[in-house]
Amino acid sequence: MDRFVIEGGYPLTGTIGISGAKNSALPLLSAALLCDGEYVFDNVPNLRDTRTMLRLLGDLNAHGSIDGSVLHLQVGESANRTASYDLVKTMRASFYVLGPLLARYGEARVSLPGGCAWGPRPVDQHLKAVAKLGATIDIDAGYISARCDKLRGTEIIFELSSVGATGNVLMAAVLAEGTTVLENCAREPEIVQLTEMLVAMGAEIEGVGQSRIVVHGVKELHPVSLAIIPDRIELGTYMIAAALVGESIRFDGGNAKHIGIVIEKLREAGCQIDVDATDTITVKRPDKLHPVDIKTAPYPGFPTDLQAQWIALMTQASGDSLVTETVYLDRFTHVAELRRLGAQIRMDGNVAQVVGNIVLKGAPVMSTDIRASSSLVLAGLAASGSTLLSRIYHLDRGYERIEQKLTEVGAHIVREKEE
């Protein structure tokens, strides 16, 4: 296992290029299972999670070859319709193959994802919706088996806004017989891109990017070529790093429109942020960082995937702030690790009261999930002395070349083998 040794206290300056979005790549690759042929995906991030998805697709007779960030995926008919426990337990997004397998073959067997570091993470909304489309669902030996002769259009009202359930059910509905009306859909840019990919494949969908989406089932789809959208969470993480320790950092290849609320909150904190016509974003740290409260919410609200990083930032603000988590109420495993660096954070249910003006000091800390880990990297950059961050395989799941990108703008981060 690898770990990072982070020497804090170095200001960052320069340019960071933003990679393709992990959370777009995973559903888009799953959508390719809907129809045979050759797909070409550009701007694919080279991440542990994209490699895991390719292993899963390989089991389902969809074989990829990567050249840089371009992926050629050859999809053929598959006799296997199972996503195994070994893969689903390392990456919950494997669950995305449920919808396409069911739509295409009338059959899918997918390991039931367990809980995770941030709570139970149920899949009830996925299952209720595919059952309403006509599938029979059984749970046996830790696997969900879904079967149907034919999926039939219906009305589905999601009880909450779920990125995964919206994506999975869209992929199931495109080949269903008749019309499916989906209410209370997630509107994240990654879901918008999935919907656009399905339309490009020949699906008939109204309401792209809306909370009400109408899908008219079609008999056939065709393969497509497309470029994955930029990773707004990677961009947001590095923008917060810039607010924390950056003198001036420029971001190339991101999409400022996908991160409007974060830009607004960083400006409230005193950062100077410029966005030009080509979406190049420059962030300049203020002399004095103001405390700013945030509350996570589904898009276009403040992303839960940037909550941990915001807490790290607020330890350096000139006063106290409140960080409220409304999407995953238990998503606070980073708090205990940030405290090891000297952070003072009081928890009251799903609200973190973050004390500002803290002098952070390097210490050994541990990664617990992708975004908790990136908050520890940011805190380590702001701390004095060395921070030893172990279990960084979590970071490798979701951040392409993170230590290289940060080192290029002046950070001191070395990857080494853990003893």
Give contact residues for ligand UD1 (rule: CB under 6 A).
23, 26, 93, 121-126, 160, 162-165, 186, 190, 304-305, 327-328
116 in active site? yes
Smallest distance from the beta carbon of 386 to ligand UD1, in angstroms?
30
Comparing CB distances to ligand UD1, the nearer of 197 and 327 is 327
20/42 Cα distance (integer angstroms): 8
Query: Tokens 């009305």 — which residue?
Result: 155
Comparing CB distances to ligand UD1, the nearer of 82 and 125 is 125
* Contacts for 369 with CB less than 8 Å, ≥ 6 apart: 116, 117, 118, 333, 394
Comparing CB distances to ligand UD1, the nearer of 18 and 93 is 93
Smallest distance from the beta carbon of 126 to ligand UD1, in angstroms?
5
Query: Tokens 């002399």 — which residue?
Result: 287
Catalytic residue chosen out of the listed positions 35, 116, 148, 271: 116
Smallest distance from the beta carbon of 307 to ligand UD1, in angstroms?
9
- H helix count then E strand count, the chain: 14, 24
Angle between helices 232-245 and 370-382 in degrees, nearest 10: 20
Comparing CB distances to ligand UD1, the nearer of 6 and 169 is 169
Question: Which letter does DSSP use for residue 191 in this model?
Answer: H
Smallest distance from the beta carbon of 304 to ligand UD1, in angstroms?
5
Which residue in the shown chain puts its C-beta closest to ligand UD1? 164
Query: Tokens 């915001």 — which residue?
Result: 310
Smallest distance from the beta carbon of 187 to ligand UD1, in angstroms?
11
**Contact of 56 with 25, CB cutoff 8 Å:** no
126/168 Cα distance (integer angstroms): 7
CA 338 to chain centre: 22
What radius of gyration, in Å, describes the C-alpha atoms of the chain?
21
**Catalytic positions:** 116
